[in-house]
Amino acid sequence: MRGALLYGSALVALTEAQQLYLTTTGYTERPQCTQAAASPEYYFRPFSYTLNETVRYATSVPAPTTTKTYAAPYSEAVKHLTTTPATTTWGNWLPGQTEITATDTDEPYGEAAWSSLWKLADIKNYTTTGIYSTTVSPTPVPSSELVLPPRDYFEPTDCYNFPDDFIFGVAGSAAQVEGAVGLEGRSPTIQENLATVDQPKNYVTNENYYLYKQDIERLAAMGVKYYSFSIPWTRILPFAVPGSPVNEQAIKHYDDLINTILDAGMQPAVTLLHFDSPWLFVSSDNFSATPDFGNANGGYQNETFVDSFVNYAKIVLTNYADRVPVWFTFNEPFLYSFNFTGANNVVHAHAQVYHFYKDELKATGKMGIKFNDNFGVPRDPTNSSDVVAANRFQEIQLGLYANPIFLGKQYPDSVLETLPGAKPLSSDELSYINNTSDFFGIDPYTATVVSEPAETFTDCAANHTTANTIFPYCVVQETRNIYGWNIGYRSHSYVYITPTYLREYLNYLWNTFRKPVLVSEFGFPVYKEDEKEELSDQLFDTPRSIYYLSFMSEILKAIHEDGVHVMGALAWSWADNWEFGDYTQQFGLQVVNRTTQERFFKKSLFDLVDFVGARMASS
């Protein structure tokens, strides 16, 4: 069965790719003209200035009339927990100000124990705090900020609409926008030690932890319907493990955030873990050792990880499942579970959370998992080895998780033969894990040109040393096609504008894993946007508009011309944020003034919302 699937996938990839590499000569064929060609006539006439711009405003999200529920409220849902967790509060960790002053040293989860987590994590140069220390009340967005920018000369032309239930919105993650890392009981995560000493940290970022009401107000005023965010594990459970107390302040904070989203007429989408694993899972010897970040393990391989994550997820779900329609268990786990044990733990933890959500809570929302980005396309689609390389690329980053979760199938042979310690799932495990996702979440930022390596796949897979730079994919990855051209227009980072490959990717996912596809992140950091001295130049971000509108156009084609069920798209991100040690890669749809925390709408946000709004079937 597996061989037949691989052969079919390879055949589809080969056939579709050949259509992109047809050899032609001459000029591009023009569309059929509706007017007969004629010689021009030249004449004079009175001149007047007539090219005045029409002022258009963004259409805000209307206030809700009802609130839909997806599960029982907390008072009923909490009965599905083995024990009702205790709640408490902790203080703030401000270096040089709040050293360990607590006297409750005999309490395993007291103030002294919480403070010691920060001391033992030994966060370097944690000296920066933000402007705010309490939630900021929102103010109405002035109409002058909602005037649409001038239209681009060339715009997408199509006759398609998005389905009525199409999910459209924006996304962000806690570590990248919240700030307040040591405040109100939050404990350390892997992210505080991720960046080097001389790189900017996540201590402040966008201060969304205190500015969320204003941020929601701004997005609702622009007409954004969905707001995707993540909840930090270490805010809810500072000690992370089962049996430890729940942070009462955190529960109230995210309860209010969700209600703020709903009151604005928007819908929340929540990720349970977005790269911010508790510090204790990436350290050892009782928090005292420095983790090996080179392996990007994220703590997923820790022997207590599965039970701890499932416990954390259950607490979050019992509190919020009644009001949240879309859930993601993990964000791009391959990037932080670069070994078999970590990946295997993610698969099992995800399945347990899904069963709790569906079988015990009887929740009616949608729960899934989201995977990382690049689509591997064969460098030469007529070369069978390059096609095999592309399929291997997909298997390593997607099949590792998606085979059991979506198809109830064994881990791919390429995984079992490559990752050290890999072992097959039992039939009972496959039965339990099968069909535990309501959609296929994917972050398809761009495409990658893939070809076979100089050595054989087998030789590469056997070489686990750090000198083997192509392990574990064991394929050559490039950004130029077979003719030497870049695969698309380049951004400030790894992203290239590759809309036609996005459509091919959506076809691959839908036809391979047989679940609706949710584009859970996609975005474009304009080259050196941060170096533009004039704010108005940063706001007029035409390359980002081209990226978004071309991608959305290809999503429409995949839906209407290819029969692919694409259930939604969430743009990354709603504002420029902290890109894991970097502020120069500006993926945001708003500029953020790092001194004042003011936000400014970019042209691309207007263009994207306007594009979707004009193509909603119910509009």
The pLDDT-based confidence of 38 (bands split at 50, 70, 90) is confident
**Rounded CA separation 570/9 (Å):** 27
| Dmax (CA) of the chain | 94
Predicted pLDDT at 96: 63
Residue pair 109/88 in contact by the 8 Å Cβ criterion: yes
- DSSP track, 475-512: SEEESB-TTS-BSSEE-SSS-EE-HHHHHHHHHHHHHH
pLDDT digits (tens, 9 = 90+) for 112-151: 999 888 888 877 777 778 999 999 999 999 999 999 999 8
At CA 199, angle to CA 198 and CA 201, rounded to 5? 120
pLDDT tens digits for range 441-470? 999 999 999 999 999 999 999 998 889 999
For residues 310 and 313, give the distance between their C-alpha atoms in angstroms, rounded to a whole number. 5
DSSP H helical ranges for 152-284:
174-177, 208-222, 233-236, 248-263, 279-282
Cα 586 to chain centroid distance, Å, stands at: 15
Model confidence band, residue 280 (pLDDT cutoffs 50, 70, 90): confident
- The whole-number pLDDT of residue 19 equals 43
d(CA 268, CA 261): 6
Say whether the peptide bond before residue 618 is cis (omega within 30 degrees of 0).
no
Give the angle subtended at the CA of 328 by the CAs of 89 and 277, to the nearest 5°. Answer: 50
Which residues make Cβ contacts (< 8 Å) with residue 230, sequence separation at least 6? 172, 173, 174, 175, 270, 271, 272, 273, 274, 276, 331
Check if the beta carbon of residue 349 is closer than 8 Å to that of residue 298.
Answer: no
- Hey, what amino acid is at 252? K
**Position 349 pLDDT exceeds 90:** yes
36 pLDDT band (50/70/90 cuts)? low
C-alpha of 246 from chain center = 26
Q: For 88-106, what is each residue's pLDDT tens digit? A: 999 888 766 655 577 898 9
pLDDT at 52 over 90: no
User: CB neighbours (10 Å) of residue 259?
Assistant: 13
The pLDDT value recorded for residue 570 is: 98
Q: How would you write 257-306 as a 3-class SS string? A: HHHHHHHCCCEEEEEEECCCCEHHHHCCCCCCCCCCHHHCCCCCCCCCHH
Integer CA distances (angstroms), 493 to 276, 346, 586, in order: 22, 28, 9
Cα–Cα–Cα angle for 369, 370, 373, rounded to 5 degrees:
160
Task: Using pLDDT thresholds of 50, 70 and 90, give the confidence band for residue 209.
Answer: very high
pLDDT band at 197 (very low <50, low <70, confident <90, very high): confident
Tens of pLDDT along 390-411?
999 999 999 999 999 999 999 9
pLDDT of residue 337: 66
DSSP label at residue 80: G
Question: Is 223:59 a contact under the CB 8 Å cutoff?
Answer: yes
DSSP reduced 3-state for 533: coil
Three-state SS at 34: coil
> What residues are paired with 497 via a beta bridge?
489
174 close to 231: Cβ distance less than 8 angstroms: yes
Q: What is the DSSP string of 40-51?
A: ------------
| Alpha carbon distance 331, 310 (integer Å) | 15
The band of 294, judged by pLDDT with boundaries at 50, 70 and 90, is very low
Residue extents of the structural domains in the chain: 74-379+437-447+490-614
Report the pLDDT value the prediction gives residue 285, as an integer from 0 to 100: 36
The conformation of residue 109, written as its DSSP 8-state character, comes to T
Q: What is the model's pLDDT at position 195?
A: 79
Q: What pLDDT score does 373 carry? A: 79
**pLDDT per residue as tens digits for the range 572-615:** 999 999 999 999 999 999 999 999 999 999 999 999 999 999 99
**pLDDT, averaged across the chain:** 90
pLDDT, tens digit (0-9, with 9 covering 90-100), for 419-440: 999 999 999 999 999 999 999 9
Q: Strand, coil or helix: what is 380? A: coil
Residue 119: other Cβ atoms inside 10 A: 14
**Pick among 3.30.70.2190, 3.30.70.270, 3.20.20.80, 3.40.50.2300: CATH of 74-379+437-447+490-614:** 3.20.20.80
Residue partners of 270: CB distance under 8 A and separation at least 6: 228, 229, 230, 231, 316, 320, 324, 326, 327, 328
Nearest 5°: CA angle at 254, between 249 and 255? 95
**360: its two tokens:** 């015990």
pLDDT in the model for residue 98? 59
Pick 101 or 231 by higher pLDDT: 231
E strand or H helix at 200: none
Higher pLDDT, 570 or 93: 570
> 87: part of which helix (H) or strand (E)?
strand 87-88
8 A C-beta contact, residue 408 and residue 427: no
Task: Please give the average per-residue pLDDT across 165-177, as a whole number.
Answer: 98
Handedness of CA 609, 615, 618, 619 (dihedral sign): positive
Highest mean pLDDT pick, 47-51, 80-84, 266-270 = 266-270
CA distances to 58, 140, 218, 260, 590 from 145, rounded to whole Å, are 9, 11, 10, 21, 12
Q: Are 226 and 568 within 8 A, CB to CB?
A: yes
Higher pLDDT, residue 337 or 523: 523
Distance (Å, whole) CA 214 – CA 370: 28
CB 173 within 8 A of CB 587: no
Amino acid (one-letter) located at 155: E
Please list, in sequence order, all residues whose beta carbon lies within 8 angstroms of the beta carbon of residue 170, skipping any fewer than 6 positions away. Answer: 219, 224, 226, 227, 228, 570, 571, 572, 573, 574, 589
Helix (H, G, I), strand (E, B) or coil at 135: coil
Whether residue 381 has a cis bond before it, omega within 30° of 0: no
Average pLDDT of the residues in 287-293: 33
Question: Per mean pLDDT, which range of 11-25, 223-237, 595-609 is the poorest?
Answer: 11-25
Confidence of residue 51 (pLDDT cuts 50, 70, 90): low
Kindly report the number of other CB atoms within 10 A of residue 212's CB atom.
24
pLDDT band at 11 (very low <50, low <70, confident <90, very high): very low
For residue 460, the tally of other CB atoms under 10 A from its CB is 20
The predicted pLDDT at position 287 comes to 33
Chain-centre distance for alpha carbon 164: 23
* pLDDT computed for residue 49 by the predictor: 85
